[in-house]
Amino acid sequence: MSQSTDDLLKFLRRLRAVREYTPEPIAQEAIEEMLEVGRWSGSSANRQPCEVIVVRDPDVKRRFGAWGALPAATASVVMLIVSTSDAARFDEGRLAERLLLAAAAHGLGSTVATLKNEGPAGAKQLLGIPEDYRAVTLVAIGHTDLEARRARQRNPQPRKPIEQFAHWDRWS
């Protein structure tokens, strides 16, 4: 295995959900680079059903937190993924994962969250999203608050052993 392959695989294994952020802002250039990575995410039949609303307004982020997407309340930036229909959920997931990877490449923490209850309808009304669109999935991004993260992770859940995760040729 080449050094660059090994480095990339280590990077991918290191990716973790981060829910604790400092108030430090994120550079505009980093946001634009993350969006560019997201723009190139694959989609089913290349339909490209997703768009992103970049939310920096603290009041809107707090609302997202109140609507069940708790990490959004303290993130520096929230990228709300808006799609054409419920059928685009898989593509939303692909886009969200790419945004997470792009944030990590910039040394930022991030996590995926979803708006619950009145959140999707509230977000549509608050942000002027057409009624026939879906607004549920978001990516919260920020500089990791290492102290708060350590306090929450005193007893992290270990990963399943590979033998319990992967099955070869059939369910075993």
Strand (E) or helix (H) holding 80:
strand 77-83
CA nearest to 72, candidates 151, 127, 137, 153: 137
Our measurement of the distance from residue 97's CA atom to the centroid of its chain's CA atoms, rounded to an integer in Å, reads: 6
Superfamily of domain 19-145: NADH Oxidase (3.40.109.10)
Mean pLDDT computed over 10-32: 93
Domain ranges in the chain are 19-145
Q: Structure tokens of 144?
A: 């990791």
The pTM (predicted TM-score) of the whole model is 0.90
pLDDT at 158 over 90: no
Alpha-carbon distances of 33 from 29, 76, 97, 133, rounded to whole Å: 6, 16, 15, 25
Mean pLDDT computed over 153-167: 82
CA nearest to 123, candidates 155, 79, 170: 79
pLDDT at 117 over 90: yes
pLDDT of residue 155: 65
